[in-house]
Structure 1
Amino acid sequence: MTAHIPPIQLAQPQAAEKKGAKGYSRQHVYPIVLICVLGLVASIGAFFEVSSLERQNRDEHFYRLAQEQSQALHSEIEASAAALRSIRGLFDASDHVSRAEFGSFIEALDVDSHIQALEWIPRVPHAERTAYSNLARQDGLPEFQFTERSSQGVIVPAEERDEYYPVYYVEPIAGNERAVGFDLGSSSTRLEALHQALSSGAEVASARITLVQETGEQFGFLIFIPIYDEGSVPTNAQSRKDLLRGFGLGVYRMGDLVASASAMARTDISDINMFIFDKTADPGQQLLYPKGSEFESDDSIPSDLRYVTDIDFSGREWRMVSVPSSGSIFAKAPMTPWLVMVLGLFITGLAALYFNVVHGRKLYADTLVETRTAELVAVNHQRGQILRKLQRSNEDLESFTFIASHDLKAPLRGIDNLVSWIVEDEESHLSEESKHNAERLRVRVNRLENLLDGLLEYSKLGRMEIVETSVDSRSMCQEIAEYLAPPEGFSINIGDKMPNFATSKPALQTVLNNLISNAVKHHDRDAGTISVSSEDLGAEFKFQVTDDGPGIDPSHHKRIFEAFQTLSPRSKVDTSGIGLALVARTVAAAGGVINVHSEVGKRGTTMSFTWAKKWPTLEG
């Protein structure tokens, strides 16, 4: 049904749209401004909060890595000093330690690679210089001599002096060949450390030096430990000087020490730069690592983020300073706060836009609702008029069908009676052909009467008053079977689980009667079996009527439910062609559906339909 809407009503939404466009008042603008202000404040606050958290996490991560590196370096230094003390224990336990014994002992210690060398430094008076040199040559060092470094940095024979402190035993020898025979007393830095160890009786570390065997760009340092003739450390300075036998010496390269400590830390510290300063040394001489750095003290390093650790060992105070390397994750400003701020502003913009769109649509919708409401009132009025006309037309059509079907049956019965009387009265005068034509006339009258009966039933369905009564569907099927009285050879089997429920008895009887009757009527053999069964589906029942007849081609499954349609010639089967149309309409009125199941090439047809347990009610 299409309702006509006057042109003026169709133009009203445009007016509503214009009204909505002009409806942006303070009530619309103020919330948007408030959303933007609150969103901006929240985004800025989130920016600073996330920045603080990121900075805190970054600093904690940095401090953890720097602390691990510092602890690893301290552990390496302690391990190195322990190896040096072992050398003093070796010499305390023996009056004479040969070069071979020293080498075997150091090899057994399995010292770390960061230790450049462990050495034995005897105190040699000038009178014994030649003897020591000859003894070393006998040990397999044919070119051994006491040496020192000239002012030009060249290794030359040592000048004569009262005492010498030559590198006599050294392990490993590989890589330290130039150090063999070097007189530590020729270097003021080394000699100062020797005298401190001699006077204190304890191990002493030197200031930074360039090792004799240095081939790279690293500073080195030495640790001396005095060794005495009587084994134990004498209690007074004079005794320590008189009983001094020599020194155990550890030689270290700062770069190798730091690298070993970094490997020991087992963490990625590529983003951290470490600087090591000797606070005991004179200004300008404090940098130990890395060599060549532009910073000569920890105060000159320009970094707010730093980790500082002081180590006191062997008479010196070292300061380790860890700072982020340039381009590292610790030196870069994190992007997360900016992303949070951008996201916050983006969400704010979306919220403002959403409010703007929603409010605008609400203004438009409010006006449009008023307009459409007036339109719907008019349309509903027109619809009501049309429905009333349609209802009157349907009632007139059903009434006409009922009257026509009912009133036409009387003339048909008169024709049938008249033909019957003529045949009885004139039977002896009628030819066989006339008798045959009279019989054909009576068959057609009977067929037309059946058609009118079908139309009558069809018309009654729309006017039938539904009264739900208790129905025993099994007994109903038995009554139908008895009424149909199928030919001998046919059997109608009714299932034991047929339901007993409240419904319209005439409606259900009409459906079952037509389906069972068709199963017998359209059978193509003299004997057959028809089965009726039911299944409970919860809110409805499913009934099935199955036969072993010729079956129905699937292409005709829809057509058979149309009025006045029949698949068998009317000369073979006496049918009105309205039975299944009546069945389909009745099933639909009962809230169900009807289906046909029949396969090509196989005999048998199953007509199944559902039937609501409670008859549907029409509302509105």
Structure 2
Amino acid sequence: MKDVFPNSSVRYPVMMGLTLGLGIGLSVGAAWLVSQWEASRRQAQFQQQIENLSTALQRSLNRYTDVLTFLYDYYQVTEEPVSRQDFARFVARSLSTYPGIQALEWAPLVRQGDRATFEAKVQAEGYPNFEITELSTENRLQRAKERAEYIPVTYVAPFLNNEAALGYDLSSGATRAAAIAPARASGKIMATERIRLVQEPRDQFGFLVVLPLYSNGVVPPDQPTREAEFAGILLGVFRVADVVEEVLQPLSYEIDFALYDQNASSKRQFLGQYEAAGKSVVAGPTSLVQPHPAVCPRPADCTRLLTLGQRQWQVVFAPAAAYGLRRSYGAPLTLLTGLLLTGSLALFLHNLQAELVRTRQLGELKLRFFSMASHELRTPLSTILLSAESLREDMARSQTGPAQTKLDRILLTARHMGQQIADLLTLTRAEAGKLEFNPVLLDAVQFCQQVIDEVQPQVSQPLSFSHPPEPIKAFWDRRLGRSLLTNLLLNAANYSSSDSSIQVSLSSDREVATLTVQDFGRGIPTADLASIREAFQRGSNVGDRPGSGLGLAIVHTAVTLHRGTWHIDSVEGEGTGVTVQLPLE
């Protein structure tokens, strides 16, 4: 026998070396790719998380500035001047809902000539010591010096812990004035730089948001008119830590970040640092928040901007200590798996080399077996040839009688074997997903009549066919349809007595065609109905009737490919009816 693997003893070391080299190289490469994928996934996850945090922070800032907008709308729709009690009642809900509010205030514009009257009016409301104040150089409240106009805090809520703000001239402080002046000139909401909230029990920064009001109720179209009709300021004092902590309570990300005011008069101004470990904001950084290169290859990737009253706050994110950047085992596991597979392949090649020797020995045995088998097969083949010669001589003497019977028997057996081979091939192709489905437009009545005419000579029972007078147009696969109906008819004939009839009926509702084949033979036991559609399954009452058990499996395959349905109605000893419903399109 010719050697299938020539020079295998020489090629084996080379093959083993190539396998090990290629396997180790692929393992290292796969581990590197996995590490890159993990890094990319880690970066994408971190970016999504800081995007969620940024969105939550911006939403929180918007909610707090909206408080002033709602208060502004209240002033717009109120026909009478808003009293101190009305102001307190309206803002009570906001004060209870938003923990970051330090105070909400109303400060009207008071000109120098109206100062005395204004102060007397507020004193008459129950504040006998009220006066317009300002901070001295020693940072103490004192009576405001005379100037052309004042913007004193007149309403403040809550009043508790904010008593000192009552009467304070907002335009006297540089920080507040820096926001009031552009707000007054533009009609837009403005925020201040950070302020230190000395009255707070915890150390944190705050910020102010101001919204101007005008005497005619709307923002005038030009700056001179806005200056002339300016009526006062609505002001909110908010605490940075409380504004941030409130919105981050539901988010459990192990991410630290620092807040900076980008528009501060000095260099970038620190506002607070959120520490994920304690879920709190501190006014002084315990450690500088720096973007981590593992999740932020560029520092800008970990930076976001928030908008607050024409100002921008910068947020710098970094993973906290508990974020778990080093918990990555994909690359080592990939490398280990690759090395194990390489080792397994090398072991397989080693075993294959040993198997080659046994293959040569088996090849020699196979050669001897075929030599012997070919000799043994000559005897039955000679018998078949002699029978064929005898059949030919018989047919030469007479066209009827024994020779014709032999010929009919051979043809019947050949057709039966051909049908079985076709059925096996159909099922095999169907299981492999390679069975072709080629529907064509045909007349279902003519098609069924043609199949019945082909089957009638093969069975002894009469086949009757009932159908509507008009044609039934359908898109069916001819080959599968013929196999379906042929198997149903042959099954019915095989398990029925020779003198009983087999009834075939076809009907249609313009969408689905219904084909029924009814026999009056042995029927199928109830216990066998569940499995009778499977290949090589036959009823327990078939007795000595020949059959392969493929017929109903072929029917099921053909119906499924046509997107149809079918069911069997059978009573043992009374007969079987198979109903098939196939879509016309």
Q: What do residues 119-174 of structure 1 show as CA deviations (whole Å, max 9, x unaligned)?
A: 1122234565565556555555566555545556x543244242333332222334
1:320 correspondence with 2:318: no
Q: What do residues 79-131 of structure 1 show as CA deviations (whole Å, max 9, x unaligned)?
A: 22222122223333345322211010112456422233221122234565565
SS of aligned partner of 1:157: strand
Distance in 1, matches of 2:290 and 2:171, equals 29
Matched-pair contact (CA < 8 Å) for 1:285–1:296: no
CA separation of 1:267 and 1:228: change in aligned 2, threshold 3 A = same
1:225 correspondence with 2:211: yes
1:62 correspondence with 2:46: yes
SS of aligned partner of 2:257: strand
Distance in 2, matches of 1:251 and 1:30, equals 80
Identity, in percent, stands at: 29
Q: Partner of 1:279 in structure 2?
A: 262
Q: Partner of 2:246 in structure 1?
A: 260
Output the TM-score relative to the length of structure 2: 0.50
Could you list the runs of 5+ residues in structure 2 that have no partner in the other structure?
A: 1-7, 274-282, 363-542, 544-585
CA separation of 1:298 and 1:361: change in aligned 2, threshold 3 A = closer
Q: 1:465-614, aligned counterparts within 5 Å?
A: none
1:216 correspondence with 2:202: yes
Q: 1:119-158, aligned counterparts within 5 Å?
A: 119-126=105-112, 132=118, 135-136=121-122, 139=125, 146-149=132-135, 154-158=139-143
Matched-pair contact (CA < 8 Å) for 2:180–2:210: yes
- The alpha-carbon deviation at position 332 of structure 1 amounts to 3.3
Could you list the runs of 5+ residues in structure 1 that have no partner in the other structure?
A: 1-23, 371-537, 539-620
1:288 correspondence with 2:274: no
Matched-pair contact (CA < 8 Å) for 2:207–2:240: yes
Matched-pair contact (CA < 8 Å) for 1:179–1:213: no
Matched-pair contact (CA < 8 Å) for 1:28–1:359: no
Amino acid at match of 2:24: L
1:347 to 326, 341, 347: 341
1:160 to 127, 137, 145: 145
Distance in 2, matches of 1:299 and 1:125, equals 55
Amino acid at match of 2:23: G
SS of aligned partner of 1:284: coil
Amino acid at match of 1:332: R
Q: Partner of 2:235 in structure 1?
A: 249
Distance in 2, matches of 1:39 and 1:62, equals 34
- The alpha-carbon deviation at position 61 of structure 1 amounts to 1.9
Q: Partner of 1:104 in structure 2?
A: 89
- The alpha-carbon deviation at position 78 of structure 1 amounts to 2.3
Q: What do residues 245-300 of structure 1 show as CA deviations (whole Å, max 9, x unaligned)?
A: 2100122222222223324xx442x3223333333224524333424347699999
CA separation of 1:171 and 1:26: change in aligned 2, threshold 3 A = farther
Distance in 2, matches of 1:193 and 1:88, equals 17
Q: Partner of 2:183 in structure 1?
A: 197
CA separation of 1:344 and 1:134: change in aligned 2, threshold 3 A = farther
CA separation of 1:34 and 1:217: change in aligned 2, threshold 3 A = farther
Q: Partner of 1:81 in structure 2?
A: 65
Q: Partner of 1:335 in structure 2?
A: 329
> Number of aligned pairs?
345
Distance in 1, matches of 2:202 and 2:158, equals 18
Matched-pair contact (CA < 8 Å) for 2:209–2:309: yes
Distance in 2, matches of 1:179 and 1:70, equals 33
Matched-pair contact (CA < 8 Å) for 2:258–2:289: no
- The alpha-carbon deviation at position 196 of structure 1 amounts to 0.9
Q: CA RMSD in A?
A: 4.1
Amino acid at match of 1:337: A
Distance in 2, matches of 1:47 and 1:174, equals 64
Distance in 2, matches of 1:298 and 1:277, equals 15
2:157 to 167, 171, 190: 171
SS of aligned partner of 2:103: strand
SS of aligned partner of 1:250: strand
Q: 1:266-415, aligned counterparts within 5 Å?
A: 266-268=250-252, 270-290=253-273, 291-293=283-285, 304=298, 306-329=301-324, 331-332=325-326, 334-353=328-347, 355-356=349-350, 358=351
- The alpha-carbon deviation at position 214 of structure 1 amounts to 4.0
SS of aligned partner of 2:36: helix
Distance in 2, matches of 1:307 and 1:56, equals 15
- The alpha-carbon deviation at position 303 of structure 1 amounts to 6.1
CA separation of 1:213 and 1:135: change in aligned 2, threshold 3 A = farther
CA separation of 1:82 and 1:89: change in aligned 2, threshold 3 A = same
Instruction: Flag the structure with larger Rg.
Output: 1
Matched-pair contact (CA < 8 Å) for 1:99–1:139: no
Q: What do residues 393-441 of structure 1 show as CA deviations (whole Å, max 9, x unaligned)?
A: xxxxxxxxxxxxxxxxxxxxxxxxxxxxxxxxxxxxxxxxxxxxxxxxx
Amino acid at match of 2:329: M
Distance in 2, matches of 1:63 and 1:347, equals 36
Distance in 2, matches of 1:296 and 1:189, equals 27
1:32 correspondence with 2:16: yes
Distance in 1, matches of 2:61 and 2:19, equals 62
Amino acid at match of 1:38: L
Q: What do residues 220-251 of structure 1 show as CA deviations (whole Å, max 9, x unaligned)?
A: 22111111222222334343333322100122
Amino acid at match of 2:207: F
CA separation of 1:360 and 1:193: change in aligned 2, threshold 3 A = same
Q: Partner of 1:435 in structure 2?
A: none
Q: Partner of 1:91 in structure 2?
A: 75
Q: What do residues 348-402 of structure 1 show as CA deviations (whole Å, max 9, x unaligned)?
A: 334435655x379769x97xx99xxxxxxxxxxxxxxxxxxxxxxxxxxxxxxxx
CA separation of 1:315 and 1:29: change in aligned 2, threshold 3 A = same
